[in-house]
């Protein structure tokens, strides 16, 4: 029998929002061994509860190249080389990239011309880069340190559930 998920996440407090998202993510992915299913549900969860996004999803590390994974939003770039754009920078440095104005980011890859700010969190498990979480917004400076910390916490929960 299929399980239906209904999460009650209604808060304007960012710390509480990410705490609730972490609990929901944990519930969604705890017993599911399939990485693609987990990424799909998490991208939908983030899309539903984080305001002012125009893209939320994953790029997977396949043979040292980022390849499009599950996402919510407009069709996206399929392959991103390490070192290219915001996602490639996160993959190369393994550091979260918080970009207030993507047009000022050298080498930004514009999959959606409406995007103005971006947050990319690398997913690293036992020293290995699994992929990145990529969030885009049509609003300049949409993301802040609270969003970065919240999404990093989410990826610490999800990361181990993406590897067999």
* CATH number, residue 42: 3.30.450.40
Q: What is the pTM of this model?
A: 0.92
Q: Which helix (H) or strand (E) holds 37?
A: helix 35-49
Beta strands in the chain (DSSP E): 55-61, 65-73, 79-81, 97-99, 117-125, 128-137
Domain range for 115 = 14-161
Q: What is the pLDDT of residue 123?
A: 98
Q: Report yes or no on 90 lying in a domain.
A: yes
Q: What is the pLDDT of residues 125-154, one digit of tens each?
A: 999 999 999 999 999 999 999 999 999 999
Q: Report yes or no on 47 lying in a domain.
A: yes
Phi, psi of 122 (to 5 degrees): -70, 145
Per-residue CA distances from 115 to 10, 26, 70, 138 (Å): 25, 29, 18, 4
- The total of structural domains in the chain comes to 1
């Amino acid at each position: 029998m299929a399980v239906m998920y209904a999460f009650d996440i209604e808060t304007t407090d960012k710390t509480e929002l990410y705490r609730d998202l972490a609990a929901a993510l944990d519930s969604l992915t705890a017993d599911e061994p399939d990485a693609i299913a987990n990424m799909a549900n998490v991208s939908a969860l983030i899309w539903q509860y984080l305001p002012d996004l125009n893209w939320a999803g994953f790029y997977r590390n396949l043979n040292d190249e980022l390849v499009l994974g599950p996402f919510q939003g407009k069709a996206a770039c399929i392959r991103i080389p390490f070192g290219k754009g915001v996602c490639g920078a996160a993959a190369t440095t393994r550091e979260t990239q918080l970009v207030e104005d993507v047009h000022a980011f050298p080498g930004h890859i514009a999959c959606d011309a409406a995007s103005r700010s971006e947050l990319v969190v690398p997913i690293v498990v036992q020293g290995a880069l699994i992929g990145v979480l990529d969030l885009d917004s049509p609003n300049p400076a949409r993301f802040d340190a609270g969003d970065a910390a919240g999404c990093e916490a989410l990826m610490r929960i999800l990361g181990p559930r993406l590897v067999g």
